[in-house]
Amino acid sequence: MNSTMHSGTEFFGHPKALVICFLTEMWERFSYYGMRALLIFYLTQHFLFSDEIAAGIFGSYISLVYITPVIGGIIADRYLGPSKAVVLGALLLVAGHFGMALEGTKAIEQMGATGTEVIRDPFYLQVFYFSLGLIIVGVGFLKGNISTLVGSLYTREDPRRDGAYTLFYMGINLGSFLGAIICGFLLQYKGFSWGFGAAGIGMLAGLIVFIKGRHLFGSAGLPSEPALLKQPTAIGISKEWSIYLLSIGGVIVCWQLMQSPAVVGGLLGTTLVLAVALVIFYSFTKCAPIDRDRMLVCLFLMSYQVIFWSLFEQTASSLSLMTDRNIDRVIFGFEVPAAAFQSVNAFFIITLAPLFNILWLSLAKRGWEPSTPTKFALSIIQLGLGFLVLVYGASVATDPTQVAIIWIVLLYLLHTTGELCISPVGLSMTSRLSVPRVVGMMMGCWFLASAAGNYVSGTIAAMTGSATVGGEVVDPAAALQTYLDVYQSAGLYSIAAGLLALAIVPIIKHYMHDA
Ligand code: GLN
């Protein structure tokens, strides 16, 4: 789609339709991160799951949401077109978030024949899992396709393209920032239903914005072959309605998968093996030598993401519980809710992303801009340093159960600078190193690596678990020590992996052939 087809340059010199992408994705991320900020507490304090089980459910959820965009993208490319896919995704998301707001009664612990038993209302537990299923499929239809719509507003050569994605990334984090703060405070002062309900209202706002502005995308948002959608299928309804029906089938599958985290691990593992095999096969059989090398380098560098997100995503699971239990959150007599800490990363992204853009540009002018593999290595080192800073902070604390707030803020600062060296850089790398014919498949692999990292994050979070009663830890000092042991290892392994990655930069650069 040529940018000249869209009238007006009314948003920082960009087509007006970018505002629609910005706002829709901002509200979607508001609901995603707002709800996610409460999720670990909902699992441990409302349903009274143990830390380990909660971490497993949480890890499965945050990995499935990054597997489904691959499928949502394929369906939009071949049938629905991005615009219908985004509306479908948004409708599922609104339903999912409002479903989460149906709280039911809190689980109770009682002594049974085999020790303490937890009694949960089975109906509301299923409402909860079903709502997660709706959200997972909703994100699958919305996230990738709204990102594709941003690109469709520009020609390949349009110099505004990168700037558009930077603005879009700010929209993501603005939503994330507001979501975590607003839903976090609502949880603290009103309860879960209010927090989850606010996420639903946010997503509803996103849906309305998109429906009102979808005409601005012109043909970019439409299905590539509209006639195909009207064709009848074997069950007597059109292809379009069959897709809607299938998406409900997808929700049912995800609803069940959420109740068996081990199956999600297997599914993810199988998908990963198949995807890697496919990329290697394609590179060796269909690519010229230079393209082949670049594709394989791209695939290799994606694996860094698994390490990155597996530790970074402790934010909403173990770090969140640790913040609740072991961070002194009182500032000037006011207690900051633990869930609200999840907005710190987004705040730093919004404030630091422009500075990083300036930094890379000024380094580039002098010929000093670090290469993509160097930035990735630095990202993993910063991630490790973040954990070590927190461990250091705990070692100088006077109270054996409470760590000062500054150390967790410094951890998030280092994790954010790390994120800025890998996440946006990786998106651009994927589009640059991939053969254009398969850039969609490679982007899918990028998200898949993110999904794998998210899944592993659940396993690591489970290692930090401590004994609880009624959602509260029994021994806060011992709990803190468990967190610190895991975080210290995470920090050291991460730095070691980053140093190794730095050492092999020259080899990787050689195979990138100056791309
Ligand atoms: N924080 C970014 C987003 O929500 C990237 C997340 C990821 O790739 N895992 O879009």
Which one has a higher pLDDT value, 224 or 256? 256
Residue 451 beta carbon below 6 angstroms from any ligand 1 atom: no
Statement: residue 113 has pLDDT above 50: yes
- What would the pLDDT profile of 227-273 be if each residue is shown by its tens digit? 999 999 998 899 999 999 999 999 999 999 999 888 998 989 988 89
Q: Report d(CA 89, CA 138) in Å as an integer.
A: 4
At residue 8, does pLDDT exceed 60? no
10: confidence class by pLDDT, cuts 50, 70, 90 = low
From 172, 302, 309, 317, give the residue whose CB has the most ligand 1 atoms within 8 Å, as the site to mutate. Answer: 172
Please list, in sequence order, all residues whose beta carbon lies within 8 angstroms of the beta carbon of residue 286, skipping any fewer than 6 positions away. 435
Give the residue, out of 32, 423, 456, with the most ligand 1 atoms within 8 A of its beta carbon, to mutate for a pocket test: 423
Alpha-carbon span 221 to 149, nearest angstrom = 7
Dihedral of the CA atoms 416, 417, 423, 429 (nearest 10)?
Answer: 180
pLDDT at 147 over 90: no
Task: Say what the pLDDT of residue 439 is.
Answer: 66
Q: Rounded to the nearest whole angstrom, what is the distance from the C-alpha of residue 32 to the centroid of ligand 1? A: 11
Q: What is the mean pLDDT of residues 316-326?
A: 92
Give Dmax over CA atoms of the chain in angstroms.
72
- Judged by average pLDDT, the poorest of 76-80, 312-316, 427-431 is 427-431
332 phi/psi in degrees, rounded to 5: 45, 45
Q: Model confidence at 154, in pLDDT bands (50, 70, 90)? A: confident
Work out the mean pLDDT of the chain and round it to a whole number: 90
Cα-to-centroid distance, 386 and ligand 1 (Å): 19
Give 476's contacts (C-beta < 8 A, 6+ positions apart).
325, 326, 401
Whole-number pLDDT of residue 1: 37
pLDDT at 432 over 70: yes
pLDDT in tens, 488-506: 999 999 999 999 999 999 9
The answer to whether the CB of 172 is under 6 A from ligand 1 is yes
Task: Look at residue 485 in the predicted model and tell me its pLDDT.
Answer: 97
Res. 6 pLDDT band, cuts 50 70 90: very low
Q: Is the pLDDT of residue 487 over 80?
A: yes
pLDDT of residue 358: 83
Q: What is the dihedral of CA 14, 15, 21, 26, to 10 degrees?
A: 40
Of 271 and 326, which is predicted with more confidence? 326
Span from the CA of 112 to the centroid of ligand 1 (angstroms): 43
Calculate how far, in angstroms, residue 107's C-alpha sits from the geometric centre of ligand 1: 32
Handedness of CA 390, 396, 399, 404 (dihedral sign): negative
In the beta sheet, which residues pair with residue 279? Answer: none
**For position 5, what pLDDT does the model report?**
42
Lowest mean pLDDT of 19-33, 107-121, 411-425, name the range: 107-121
**Ligand 1 atom 10, closest CA:** 172
383's tokens: 């991630």
423 CA distance to ligand 1 middle (Å): 7
pTM of the full structure: 0.85
The pLDDT, as a whole number, for residue 162 is: 65
DSSP letter, residue 340: G
Residue 159 has pLDDT above 70, yes or no: no
Q: Count CB neighbours of 304 within 10 A.
A: 21
Q: Is the CB of 309 under 6 A from ligand 1?
A: yes
Compute, in angstroms, the gap from residue 173 CA to the centroid of ligand 1. 9
Q: Ligand 1 mean position to 473 CA, how many Å? A: 31
- Are the beta carbons of 17 and 25 closer than 8 angstroms? no
**Closest atom of ligand 1 relative to the 66 alpha carbon:** 9
What CATH architecture applies to the domain 8-217+226-512?
A: Up-down Bundle (1.20)
pLDDT at residue 292 is higher than 60: yes
Atom number of ligand 1 nearest to Cα 313: 9
Residue 195 or 337, more confident: 195
Q: What does the alpha-carbon distance between residue 122 and residue 178 come to, in Å, rounded to a whole number?
A: 32
Residue 450 beta carbon below 6 angstroms from any ligand 1 atom: yes
pLDDT digits (tens, 9 = 90+) for 41-64: 999 999 999 989 998 899 899 989
pLDDT of 275 > 70? The answer is: yes
Taking only the tens place, the pLDDT of each residue in 183-219 is 999 998 999 999 999 999 999 999 999 999 999 998 8
